[in-house]
Amino acid sequence: MITIKNSKEIELMREACKVVALVYEELEKQIKPGMSTWELDQIAEKKMRSLGAIPAEKGYDIGIKGIPPFPASICVSINDEVIHGVPSKNKIIQEGDIVSVDTVALKNGYNGDAARTFVVGKISKEAQRLIDVTKQAFFEGLKYARVGYRIGDISHAIGTYVESQGFSVVREFQGHGIGKDMHEDPGIPNYGKAGRGARIEVGMTLAIEPMVIQGKHDILELSDGWTIVTEDGSLAAHYENTVLITKNGPEILTMTKAEKAQVKDLI
């Protein structure tokens, strides 16, 4: 069931999402070659807790026998790791890596969710193009996050744009509604036919998240039960924001100050 948020709930969502934005501002300052993904995780958790939030991903249990609850505060995925990378003291970030981070902050009973792919040092032009296309795919989908459209219109816009750029979208994972629960209805695939799915209404809060692969869309799950990698070893990028549907259009709740200044150029 899709939950429509009232004005009080929206304000609580704003607070949780503000925490996520501030976490990304901190991570962008501190990420560098030579640090472990565990260190990045600790920076994020410390920032969340200092702002009165808790890391919602820590201890998240998908309820499948044999897969332990997620052990860290954020997901950190490097290069061919698509999503759900588990932070480790032994996983060191190198010059030239692209690092995708997925953060969910829970504050006052509501969740904020966003993902970013960071550049570490100098990367290839093709890697940068992958990151740029992934980000723009979100904004292509955002054009349809308005009353009068359907969820399938968002999905179709993301998928067709990504494929027009020669890349692939992940098919097994998708965006989602968000609120008291990290994952709520509706599911928001990154591909599909326009004109299908739930109608978009004022008060919906949606986590729209293109996950884009440089090569083929096929993926594999590693033995930790969490980390998803590209089957062909190609690079992957991830970009996500929590979006509020208003009568005047979509409002992005998880953007940093610097990102807000750039938004008009991306839509």
Give pLDDT tens digits along the chain (267 positions): 999 999 999 999 999 999 999 999 999 999 999 999 999 999 999 999 999 999 999 999 999 888 999 999 999 999 999 999 999 999 999 999 999 999 999 999 999 999 999 999 999 999 999 999 999 999 999 999 999 999 999 999 999 999 999 999 999 999 999 999 999 999 999 999 999 999 999 999 999 999 999 999 999 999 999 999 999 999 999 999 999 999 999 999 999 999 988 876 554
The predicted model scores a pTM of: 0.96
Residue 1 domain-assigned? no
Asked if residue 169 is part of any domain, the answer here is yes
User: Does residue 41 form part of some domain?
Assistant: yes
CATH classification of the domain holding 120: 3.90.230.10
**Separation CA 48–CA 203 (nearest Å):** 25
Residue 119 lies in a domain: yes
Residue 2 lies in a domain: no
Q: Are 254 and 25 in contact (CB under 8 A)?
A: no
Q: Is residue 92 part of a domain?
A: yes
DSSP code of residue 240: B
Number of domains in the chain: 1
Neighbouring residues of 142: CB distance < 8 A, sequence distance ≥ 6: 154, 208, 243, 250, 252, 267
Question: Which range marks the domain in which residue 142 is found?
Answer: 7-266
The Cβ-side half-sphere exposure at 155, using a 13 Å CA radius, reads: 24
Number of continuous H segments (helices) and E segments (strands) in the chain: 5, 15
